[in-house]
Structure 1
Amino acid sequence: MKFTLKQIFVPNFAKRLSFMLPSIILMGVFVSILLEIGWGTDPASFMNQNISALFGWSMGRTQVTVYLFMLVFTILFGVEMIGLGTITNMVLIGYTIDLCRWIWKNIGFNTVLSQGNIALRIAIFALALLLFALAAAIYINAKMGVSPYDAIPNILNKWFTKIPFIIIRIAFDFSAVGIGVIAGKLNPNGIQGSILGSILMSILLGPMITLVARPLKKIL
């Protein structure tokens, strides 16, 4: 299948863009909070966080670099999944994380997130996780293309039709956590973030996104 401009200029383009773009930026905001708390984040961010720490790169540069390799794979085997949201996700989330963490540091919010009252941190963590799932659900249901990271399990699902998609997705997320662990082990400063938390995220985020996505379908 060939790439066509219809994948960029989808029906109801303006309406979908008005949902897709803010949701991607908000995903970056909420991931930045989860990273500062340090109890776990989505598997892709855990992987990128540890690659970023290993090479001394920003999260923005890391995500663009890692996703560029995934984008090549997607172009070769799943070009129909590419849209404006694919590139926007690849570029915006990482740099939004960098900007927010810089802001949190300068206003002292990072100290609250990493060392503050435990009850407050739990509340912020739960809220950030829920809002991240909501933003991700909006992004997915805008149907303007999937991220290179999300495209790969869909491609694998086409190849391995006898394996349920949920198994493929969890296995792929686990592999991302594994790459993050390897990068962390190679880093003299050790693993960044929580391995257990990110593993739990890989299991729980999918159902959470599905749950909050149901009412959104009527709007989008």
Structure 2
Amino acid sequence: MIRRYFEKAGWGRLLVMVVGNIFLGLGIAVFKLSGLGNDPYSGMVMALSDCVGMAYANFLVLINLAVFVLEIIFGRKFIGAGTVVNALLLGYIVTFFYNLLSNGIGIPEVMWQKLVVVCIGVVVCSFGVSMYQTPDVGAAPYDSMSLIMAMRKPSISYFWHRISTDALCALICFLAGGIVGIGTLLSAFCLGPFISFFDAKFTLPLLRKIEKK
């Protein structure tokens, strides 16, 4: 079944999606490096993994598999190659880049450095999300939840479904002792406009060129 998802996607779109996940992992690592909070879902998983004493990447796979069951039941049409890559590999990409950055440049100590790092995280994450989502080859388990909710309850816009799932994750993150801060707020309010910018200026033109070949 997994092989069918990859063959259906097309190699050009698959490559863009995989590169997008690499940039997304880098962006999440940069957010973590800032110490000012991650996007709600990543922050929640990091906080819960610390609580149970399990490595973030391994715990993320377990959480994604649990959410994936819901995606299979309620939103099978959102499943694709991107679902598999994001669910199984993103945590390890984040861990690789975080270790590389923290050992290479160190953890920022003063606030202005933290703010610069978190702003870089916004841009890198947005670029990654644009490249991962725009090829339309499958939604990550968590991302599919708000899509499923919007599909089953169309009277409420997708925006509010996404806000509700993000708010729940942020609350769990806070209760589990994680960081809910400037980075969390910036990811909630700034990723969307940057993603739209990268969609229009980079990812969609790139996909058109790939599909012409």
Give the TM-score range, shorter chain.
0.7 to 0.9
* Alpha-carbon distance, 1:42 to partner: 1.2
* SS in structure 1 at match of 2:64: helix
Pick from 137, 149, 166 the counterpart of residue 144 of structure 1. 137
Tell me the residue number matched to 1:210. Answer: 196
Q: 2:20 aligned with 1:27, yes or no?
A: no
Give the drift of 1:5.
6.4
* TM-score between the two structures when normalised by the length of structure 1: 0.85
Say if 2:29 is the partner of 1:43.
no
Partner of 1:63: 60
CA RMSD in angstroms, aligned pairs only: 2.0
Aligned partners of 1:17 and 1:83: how far apart in 2? 10
Could you list the runs of 5+ residues in structure 1 that have no partner in the other structure? 185-190
Residue 52 in 1 paired to residue 49 in 2? yes
CA drift at 1:24: 0.5
Which blocks of at least 5 consecutive residues in structure 2 are unaligned?
Answer: 208-213
Following superposition, the deviation at residue 200 of structure 1 comes to: 4.3
Contact 1:7–1:80, Cα closer than 8 Å, also in 2: no
With normalisation by structure 2, the TM-score equals 0.87
Cα distance in 2 for partners of 1:138, 1:213 equals 8
Alignment counterpart, residue 89 of structure 2, candidates 81, 89, 92: 92
- 1:1-220 superposed matches below 5 A: 7-10=5-8, 13-107=10-104, 109-111=105-107, 113=108, 115=109, 117-182=110-175, 184=176, 191-195=177-181, 197-215=183-201, 216-220=203-207
Taking every aligned residue pair, what percent have the same amino acid on both sides? 22
4+ runs deviating over 4 angstroms: 3-6
Q: Distance in 1 between matches of 2:95 and 2:205?
A: 34
When residues 200 and 101 of structure 1 are mapped into structure 2, their CA distance, relative to the original with a 3 A threshold, is closer
Equivalent residues of 2:118, 2:183 under 8 A apart:
no
Could you list the per-position Cα deviations for residues 93-123 of structure 1 after superposition, in whole angstroms to 9, with x for gaps in the alignment?
A: 111122222233433x233x3x1x5434332
SS of 1:10 mapped into structure 2: helix
- Cα distance between partner residues in 2 of 1:213 and 1:22: 14
Q: Deviation digits for residues 61-91 of structure 1, max 9, x if unmatched?
A: 1111111111000000111111111011011
Partner Cα distance (2:162, 2:185) in 1: 12
The aligned residue for residue 187 of structure 1 is none
Q: State the distance in 2 between where 1:33 and 1:171 align.
A: 25
